[in-house]
Amino acid sequence: MAEREQRLKGLRKSIAQLEFELSQLEKEVAENKAELRNDPTETVQRHVRLLHEYNDIKDAAQGLMGLIADAKGVRVAKIHKEYGVDEKD
């Protein structure tokens, strides 16, 4: 019986420690959320929207460079170089 009581005492101590750690982590999360300038969901949605806009603009620019290349009778790579567009752009 004493062994069971010791085990229960140890488990209760572990639970208390874990509850304390949980409360500390919840406090830390609340502090971090308070420091955010905007709601994270709104920020992600904004970034997705901006990425779509960027891709649309990039696609239009690539199309224009293709038309310029066709008009000049050269490869698109030459037009990229002429306008200072890097492979990573």
Same domain, 45 and 84: yes
Of 5-9, 30-34, 48-52, 77-81, which has the strongest mean pLDDT?
Answer: 48-52
Same domain, 30 and 44: no
State pLDDT tens for residues 38-67.
Answer: 888 888 999 999 999 999 999 999 999 999
Query: Is residue 1 predicted with pLDDT exceeding 80?
Result: no
What is the pLDDT averaged over residues 8-33?
94
Give percent of the chain with pLDDT exceeding 90.
Answer: 73
Q: What is the DSSP string of 24-83?
A: HHHHHHHHHHHH-SS-HHHHHHHHHHHHHHHHHHHHHHHHHHHHHHHHHTS-HHHHHHHT
For residue 8, the enclosing domain spans 1-35
Same domain, 5 and 27: yes
* Structural domain count, the chain: 2
Which pLDDT value is given to residue 19?
97
